[in-house]
Amino acid sequence: MIVSKDADGLRFVLQTDHADIAGQLARRWAEPFAPYASVVLAADLHDEGWRTWEAAPDGPRSFLQMRPEVHTAFYAAGLDRVERLDCAAALLCSLHASGLYNGGFGMRQAPAELAPVAQAFLAAEESRRGRLGALDDQVRRNYRLLQVWDQLALAVCGHPVRRAAGAFDVARPAAGRLTVAPWPFREPEVAVAVPFRVLPERDWAGADAFRAALAAAPWQAEAVVLAAEPPGGQPG
């Protein structure tokens, strides 16, 4: 989950809803990419493994707070599901999952040391990719696009992102508004709805109590508009 402060407590956005937003951004991208259907599906499902954990969360845990043994297990299960749907999409999703542990294949600084379970996960995903297809220039380009959509979608969902995949500057000049430079979409503005729930910030008496409170919390939606940065860098 993406957890952030809200005026009324803590705001929770599901990773699977975040992935749906990444897919929406992919569909509105100006520059063509191929194979279109597989790459868009990868954007839709790049966090598919989270569906298992988010069905029964054990607490108000951000995606940044997951233990490797839990995270790698549900990610591997999610990648199995994507592979059954589309091998090209699964190849990109496998790269995304591995990139969370190895610094995005050079896009970010890799951790100095990895837990054995993370090392085993990386080895298993390298083996998966060996049977899914070659890592040619097109796949590498599509992986970079997936990272851009992932990070822009994180920004839309309230996670602090100032530069998406090292290529796009992101700012939040006002509530419900993001600017992106250079502007990468076909339309002059892109509007998305972010589903979320809010709970008071408190200590929960176990996972069952948290799950019950989250399930009872009403769904809300924030309208977020992405727009180009106007000349001079001042918000419009």
Torsions phi, psi for 6 (to 5 deg): -130, 160
Tell me the mean pLDDT in the region 176-198: 97
Q: What is the pLDDT of residue 61?
A: 85
Map out the domains of the chain as residue ranges. Answer: 2-233
User: Is residue 232 predicted with pLDDT exceeding 60?
Assistant: no
Give the percent of the chain with pLDDT over 70: 96
Q: What is the pLDDT of residue 38?
A: 98
Tell me the mean pLDDT in the region 136-162: 96
| Tokens 């097109």 found at | 138
Cis omega before residue 235 (within 30°)? no
pLDDT tens-digit map of 108-123? 766 778 899 999 999 9
| Structure-block tokens of residue 148 | 């851009």
- Comparison of pLDDT for 205 and 224, the residue scoring more: 224
User: Is residue 158 predicted with pLDDT exceeding 80?
Assistant: yes
Q: What is the pTM of this model?
A: 0.93
Confidence grade of residue 235 (pLDDT, cut at 50, 70, 90): very low
User: Is residue 22 predicted with pLDDT exceeding 60?
Assistant: yes
pLDDT tens-digit map of 159-184? 999 999 889 999 999 999 999 999 99
Rounded to whole angstroms, the Cα distance separating 45 from 135 reads 20
Rounded to whole angstroms, the Cα distance separating 13 from 193 reads 11
Give the percent of the chain with pLDDT over 90: 78
| Tokens 């996670």 found at | 159
pLDDT tens-digit map of 50-103? 999 999 998 888 888 889 999 999 999 999 999 999 999 999 999 999 999 987
